Amino acid sequence: MKTNTAGINLIKKYEGCVLTAYRCPAGVLTIGYGHTGTDVKEDMIITKAQAEKLLKADLIAFEKKVSAYDSIYHFNANQFSALVSFAYNIGSIDQLTAKGTRSLEEISKKMLLYNKAAGKQLPGLVKRRKAEQELFNKKATKTNTAKTETAKTDEAAKAAGYKIKVTTPKGLYIRKGASTSTTKVGALVYGAEETVTKEKDGWGYIDGKGWVCLKYTKKV
């Protein structure tokens, strides 16, 4: 899954775009849209285009960190994007999720606690956490009807014919299309076995039910 427009805009708003290297409230050298790392040097200057490029690269890294928990939480687009923004600022969501042991409701509540830098509460972080919480709790907009979601997936689906078994203890959602951004239409419990009749981009279709992510299954 990729960060949606609301998530990217949130990051840009609260990071700001500074084209000359500076030290953030925590004392870390920063440039562009909150970019940090060994490549950032004192008095460094970049262009707006370079700042956008750095943001895109940074987003990929933080999207991977959030995606690592998707098999547990099955995030919708807004939850995922809010957590990418959170991780972009904090570094990860490991502590926020208690490594996958907290519920989505608990995660939402705990977000607001991360509003300090160097032990001091900062108004900017208070506002950012609130904005991230609001995005996290906002119901994901269904831009396509269920019929459209299915049609788009079916266009590139390949025929298959094998049985799978759910391997994730938390179970697995069934979706209308081959993507976590499509509508949830059901779920399979741990150990459930089903027959996949077609597949696309790591997703398998179960006749009469919908699509499941094959990453959390094994062939039987």
Q: What is the pLDDT of residues 99-113, one digit of tens each?
A: 999 999 999 999 999
pLDDT at site 180: 85
Domains, the chain, ordered by start: 5-137 (1.10.530.40), 146-219 (2.30.30.40)
Q: What is the pLDDT of residues 125-144, one digit of tens each?
A: 999 999 999 999 998 765 44
pLDDT at site 157: 67
Spatial distance between the Cα atoms of 93 and 69, rounded to a whole number of angstroms: 9
Q: What is the pLDDT of residues 33-72, one digit of tens each?
A: 999 999 999 999 999 999 999 999 999 999 999 999 998 8
Pick the more confident residue, 185 or 216: 216
Over residues 88-109, the mean pLDDT reads 94
pLDDT of residue 81 exceeding 70: yes
Strands, sheet with 217-219, edge to edge from the N-terminal-most edge strand: 184-188, 172-175, 210-213, 203-206, 193-200, 158-166, 217-219
pLDDT of residue 88 exceeding 60: yes
Q: Catalytic residue among 15, 132, 149, 194, which?
A: 15
Half-sphere exposure of 100 (CA within 13 A, CB side): 14
| 69 touches 95 (CB < 8 A) | no
pLDDT at site 141: 66
pLDDT at site 156: 57
Spatial distance between the Cα atoms of 33 and 29, rounded to a whole number of angstroms: 12
Query: Which amino acid is present at 39?
Result: D
149 is catalytic: no
Split at pLDDT 50, 70, 90, the class of 204 is very high
Over residues 186-191, the mean pLDDT reads 90
Please give the angle made by the CA atoms of 187, 139 and 174, to the nearest 5 degrees.
15
Spatial distance between the Cα atoms of 88 and 94, rounded to a whole number of angstroms: 13
pLDDT at site 149: 47
